[in-house]
Structure 1
């Protein structure tokens, strides 16, 4: 019985460390995607401000809207699954992992992977649109 009791705290420490590592990993990915979204939205705003051509504005508005929706989903994922509590510090040194959050690693990975896939799809289309404008010397 003593040997089982001595293993349990060790296992809990490993689980906590793993949880914290996973949370930091996903937080970094979310931050990186948010930064790319910010940059793409900035370029799209420039297009919308420079050109009144209906087709160009329409495409730019569509991509901008899609990126806004994606940013909202990333914010929700970060708030609901990565952060502890309502207020999440921008760069926590040691994210807390409570017992109730240990089971979320798989859920976080599933949601983050789905959002990464959606982001890649939107980003690819947006970059193709922006590249087309550059090839026409419009940007």
Structure 2
């Protein structure tokens, strides 16, 4: 299943050359993941309060392929590559029309209140499969 999240490039997203500043792609894909999780019915506040865990990014491997510019309409596509007991690996692409501008493999883990990596809650794993 592919989750699609629209993004409009605003002036504040760009650098002096008028192209999207590289770090903003990470913001775009974070927003898309948050929207995807919410769409699955996962309440991250409840997860923190009831299960004592939160999602954190452990690893990002990213490729910047082509620049986005001011006022572009983009779409972030998110898919699940794999889910294990303690890890969720996502594939995300930022597209303009049919062109892939940015792509990243993102590894997500859960950490407890002490900051230690812990298993994904079973009810969350079931929703991700």
Instruction: Point out the structure with the larger helix share.
Output: 1
Same fold (TM over 0.5): no
In the superposition, the TM-score normalised over structure 2's length comes to 0.29
Report 1 or 2 for greater relative contact order, CA contacts < 8 Å, sequence distance ≥ 6: 1
